[in-house]
């Protein structure tokens, strides 16, 4: 899966969880949860959604390293190589 496809998957998942927001307008270093107002329940749904679509397990201890779009995309790119 190329970078564009991964990014699209991420943004689509965020849009489903926070439909009234515009995830595509997130700046790369913004904290995703704060910017979109995502609570811990919705964040878990987001992780489950990524897990389903990318066939990738994101362990809980990695949550801290994927708080921004830039970090998350780099993390996914690395894991999916």
Partner 1 sequence: MIEFLMPSLGADMEDGTLVAWRKKEGSAVKRGDIVAEVDTQKGLIEIEIFDEGILEKMLVQPGTKVPVGTPLALISPGGAGVKMPPMVESKEEMKPPVPEKIPKAPAEIIHKGLKVSPLARRIAEDNKIDLSTVTGTGDDGAITKADVEKAIVQRAESGAKQAATGIPAEDKTKAASDTIRNAVAAAMSRANREIPHYYLEKAIDMTKAMAWLERTNKERPVNRRLLPAVLLIKSTALALQEVPELNAVWDNGLQLKQDIHIGFVVSLRGGGIIVPAIHTANLRTLDEIMDALNDIIPRAKALKLRSSELSDSTVTVTYIGEGGADSVFGIIYPPQVALVGFGSISEQPFSKDGMLGIHPIMRVTLAADHRATDGLTGSRFLTALNSRLQIPESL
7/63 with CB nearer partner 1: 63
Nearest distance, CB of residue 6 and partner 1, angstroms: 17
Site for partner 1 in 52-71 (CB under 8 A): 57-61
**How far apart, in whole angstroms, are the C-alpha atoms of residue 7 and residue 32?**
14
Q: What interhelical angle do 69-80 and 3-17 show, nearest 10? A: 130
Instruction: Give the whole-angstrom CA distance, residue 24 versus residue 51.
Output: 20
Per rule CB under 8 A, count of chain residues that contact partner 1: 17
Question: Please, which residue, 5 or 44, has the CB nearer to partner 1?
Answer: 44
């Amino acid at each position: 899966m190329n970078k564009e496809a991964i990014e699209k998957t991420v943004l689509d998942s965020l849009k489903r969880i926070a439909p009234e927001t515009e995830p595509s307008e997130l700046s790369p270093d913004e904290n995703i949860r704060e910017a979109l107002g995502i609570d811990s329940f919705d964040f878990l749904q987001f992780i489950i959604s990524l897990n389903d679509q990318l066939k990738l397990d994101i362990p809980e201890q990695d949550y801290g390293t994927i708080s921004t779009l830039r970090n998350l995309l780099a993390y996914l790119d690395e894991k999916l190589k």
